Each structure stands twice: as structure tokens, then as C-alpha cells.
Amino acid sequence: MLTATGITLQYGSRVLFEDVNIKFVKGNCYGLIGANGAGKSTFLKIISGEVEPTKGEISIGKGERISVLGQDHYAYENERVLDVVIRGNEELYSIMQEKEKIYAKPDFDENDGMIAARLEERFAELDGWNAETDAIKMLVELGIDESKIYGEMNQIEPKDKVKVLLAKALFGNPDVLLLDEPTNDLDINAIEWLQDFLIDYENTVIVVSHDRYFLNTVCTHIADVDYKKIKIFPGNYDFWYQSNQLMQKQMKDSNKKKEEKIKELKDFIARFGASQRAKQATSRKRTLEKIELDEIVASNRRYPYIDFKVERPVGREVLKVNHIWKEDGEATIKDVAFTVNAGDKILVVAENENKVTNLFDILSGKINPDKGFLEYGKTITTEYLPKDNSEYFDTDENIVDWLRKFSKDPDETYVRGFLGRMLFSGEEALKKVSVLSGGEKVRCMMSKMMLSEANLLIFDEPTNHLDMESITTLNTAMEKFQGVILFSSHDHELAQTVANKVIDLTGEKVVIKESTFDEYIEYKKGNK
């Protein structure tokens, strides 16, 4: 068991945490959530000992070990891949190194023999005889080619370095596992393997992630960072979110009697807790524990307003892509042809993501194809959110003036009102766009898209840089949109809930499937 007692962290006058008292119990997986800047990653560093709290202490059971997912992908460049994984258990790795040195001594004596015997005893206690086999098995399951395992880290691709560091964190069955955005840069197969691993994991896991599907799949509890506190709720992310939204709605509705509010909330909890969906969504497939009303507190997080309207409905003809080509090295797209119909919300995927970007750049008119052509319907208007939006913000304009250029109503009052719903209120709306954060720039681009009222929207990785609140709101907006969407995304929940068709540009031949994202994954597995 891991216990945080009286944890307070203060930087000058800013208090990040204040008197946090919580327990993390063996057998549970905790999703640590909170607004950007709330201190999620910092709390993990307090647990690991990397950051010293102003007050309080972290304690774990005697002899228990904490393992942390490393973020420096180039930390072990001159070491063997296999050795890096075994380093996940530093005591075991140290013993292996000591043994090797002692047995290599040319003047090995009786004292060396006694030391070696003690090392061998501890080596066996740590299951050292299976260490290499276990490490190799984990690497192979994560998709590392066996030929690379005995080579050095500097010989493998960055995407594989991520997998090696993940294997290092998981190696040796640590008592407490700390994972900060573990799905970043992982492919679908590796994410699925990790999900299965954590579902079966018998010790304590604390994970920070913006991937709602991942949190819903693996988490038995949500640890919510809010109001400078951390409070634990049983259940997955969806349950926490819907409960919280309902509580906020009730707090705002002053016309309802307290008894009615309580009854509504309790009825909701009972329905959700008894549903098959809830049982399937939690990683251990357990029924949700009973929750008392006073355990649920409305969050102080802010959710942006995202709602894409169409000025003109989509007609019969939307878009025909006629055998387009674009040379760009490994990102070359060849003979891409498909038809977009009314009602389509198309997810575009590829192992090389630059292929998708090239396609979207062509569809938006940003670049021209080398061969082939596009046919848009007469009623179609388009708006594009590119992955790289830097060219839009190379100006000294403030946010109000920047957005006014894209508004049919340039009145400052109207534009400010619009920006307020996108979390740019007061002085925030007068910030220069050139100094905005990545998330703020994406929210500005989405404001531009909303104002356009276009009926065909193109999104290239729209959740990049966004916090969970913005991602959730965007997801709902894309589901509700009455026009046509083409998009790419690493967010499994977004892909699954929005797309009704998948286009895969990975191979020499374009694959088009009218299916959900999950159905397409199953199709891919069956056609390997």
C-alpha cells in the first residue's frame, strides 16, 4: 500500500497541493486526472521522490519497490536494449553486474566465493534466473524485433525506444507502478498489449493520461486533482465524468428541491453501477462500489464551448478524390481514390502519419497533387485544422483582432462573447497570438472553424495539445456535427465514437472500410 500523509507543495505564494491524505491500495489502477497545471505529473514526482513536498510524507510497505516510466528516450544510448529493461529492477541489475565482475576475477579467492554465494542467494530471491527470458518476452510482445534486443539503444528507432522504456518500467513486477502518459508514441498493438497487462496487474498502478479510452479500460478508480486536493472515486473515467457533470447541472439549477436533486443523482448512480457497460468498462470487470452523494463534488474545471454549425446543408455530391499522387519520400501517397458521401465521418490512418497530412493538405487546397484531381460538390464549403498551425499565428495581433478577421460579424462585443465561451475572457482575449500555448492556439483554430460554418471539416490530430476538458467537448461536438468530417486522431475514444468509415493509407493499395474504428482494428487483426 502507498500512503500520502499531509502532502503540501508550495512554490512561493502558489499552493499546488494542500494537506493531501490518500491511500493507493494493491490491486487497483488509479487514473490521476486534473486540469492542465493542476499538478498531476508533479504528484507522481513527489511519490517517486524526485520532488520533495513542502510538508508531509509518502510511505510504502517495507521492502516494496516503486517503478517509474522514464521520459528521456535517449538516456541509455550506449547500453544494450536487454540491459536497459533489466535496469527496471536496479537491485537485480546491480547484483548481475557484481556477479559478473567477481567471476571474472583472475585471482578469485575464498572471500570472493562467500560474496558470490550471498549474491547468488539474493539473485534467486529476485527471480534472476528468469530475468532475461522475461525481459525478452516483454520486448517481443511490445513489437521489438528480436534482432535488436542484444544491440545498443542507439541502433533502434525512436518509436522503439519508447517501448523499451515502458518495458523497463514494467519489468520485475514493481509494487507501485507510476506511468505518465504511457500511450504517447505507442502504436495500436502496443497500446492493446499494455491495456491487457495492466488489467491483469496485481499490484498498484497510478497513471496520468489524456486517453479516455485507455483510462476507461484499465482504471478501477479515478484520483481527481482539484481544489488543491486529491480525491479518489471508484469507477472509470466515464463514470466520474458523467457523475460530475450531473452534479454541476444540479448545482446550477436552483429551482429544484434538494430532495429531488439527491434522488436524481442516486438513481443515476444505481443505473450506471448496475449496467453491463459499467462492468465491462472497468478493468477488473467488477461492479462499481457504492458511492455516497457527498463523495461527488462539482469540479472547478472549465469546459470550452465547441459547437460546429453549418450555414448550408450538404448536397448529394460531396467529394470525389480521383487517383491523386504526391511524391514525398516515405510519405508519398500513390493512386488514392475514394468518394465522400453525405453523412460520412471518415477516419484516415497510416503508419506514416505524414501521408495523412499530405492528403489533408491536398484536400484543403494547401498543396496541389502531382497527379489526379478533386471534385467538390457545389454546396460544399471546407475548413481545415492542420497539425502544424504555426503559419496562422505569425503575427503581433491580439486574439480579438485575429479572430475578427474570420467573423461575419466583426463587432468586438460579439467576438469577445464568442472568445469568452472558448475560455478567453477579459484580459486573456487581448494576448498576442504569437505567444499562445499549443492548446490555446488549437482553441483559436476551432473558433475560426466554428465561425466559418463550413459543412466539410478536416481535422489533422485535433486533440494534440488539448486538455481532457477540451478533448471531451470536442468529441461531443464532432459527434453532433451535421456536416461531413475527415480526420486523423490517436485518441481511441474520439476515433471510435465519431468515425463511420476508415481509410487506411499504410500499404501500396488504399483500404476503405465502412465500419467503426474498433471494427476496423478487428478486421486488421484478421487479415494479418
Condensed to tens digits (0 to 9), the pLDDT of residues 94-116 reads: 999 888 888 888 888 888 889 98
Q: What pairs with residue 338 in β-bridges?
A: 321
Give the helix/strand (H/E) hosting 232.
strand 229-234
Q: Please check whether residue 195 is in contact with residue 281, taking contact to mean a CB–CB distance below 8 angstroms.
A: no
Amino acid at 413: T
Q: What is the CATH number of domain 319-526?
A: 3.40.50.300
Instruction: Tell me what pLDDT residue 410 has.
Output: 86
Q: How far apart are CA 104 and CA 91, in angstroms?
A: 20
Q: How far apart are CA 402 and CA 425, in angstroms?
A: 15
Instruction: Tell me what pLDDT residue 508 has.
Output: 86
Q: Give domain limits for the chain.
A: 1-64+175-291, 74-163, 319-526
Burial of residue 284 (number of CB atoms within 10 Å: 0-12, 13-18, 19+): middle
* Chain mean position to CA 449: 24
Torsion angle (degrees, nearest 10) of CA 119, 120, 121, 126: 90
Residue ranges of the chain whose pLDDT lies below 70 = 248, 250-300, 528
Strand runs labelled E in 29-130: 29-34, 55-60, 66-68
Q: How far apart are CA 444 and CA 436, in angstroms?
A: 10
Instruction: Tell me what pLDDT residue 285 has.
Output: 35
Q: Is there a shared CATH topology between the 1-64+175-291 domain and the 319-526 domain?
A: yes
Q: Return the number of other C-beta atoms located less than 10 Å from residue 278's C-beta.
A: 19
Q: What pairs with residue 503 in β-bridges?
A: 348, 512
DSSP alpha helix (H) spans, 365-411: 399-404
> Model pTM?
0.80
Q: Please check whether residue 521 is in contact with residue 371, taking contact to mean a CB–CB distance below 8 angstroms.
A: no
pLDDT tens for 266-319 read 565 566 555 544 444 443 334 334 444 444 455 667 889 999 999 999 998 999
Angle at the Cα of 520 from the Cα atoms of 518 and 523, rounded to 5 degrees: 115
Angle at the Cα of 157 from the Cα atoms of 155 and 158, rounded to 5 degrees: 120
Domain 1-64+175-291 has CATH 3.80.30.10: no
- Which single residue is written with the C-alpha cell 430532495? 259
Joined grid coordinates for residue 356:
495523412
Instruction: Tell me what pLDDT residue 289 has.
Output: 42
Q: Return the number of other C-beta atoms located less than 10 Å from residue 262's C-beta.
A: 13
Sheet containing 484-488, strands listed edge to edge, beginning at the edge strand earlier in sequence: 382-385, 456-460, 484-488, 345-349, 501-504, 511-513
SS3 453: coil
Q: Please check whether residue 318 is in contact with residue 487, taking contact to mean a CB–CB distance below 8 angstroms.
A: no
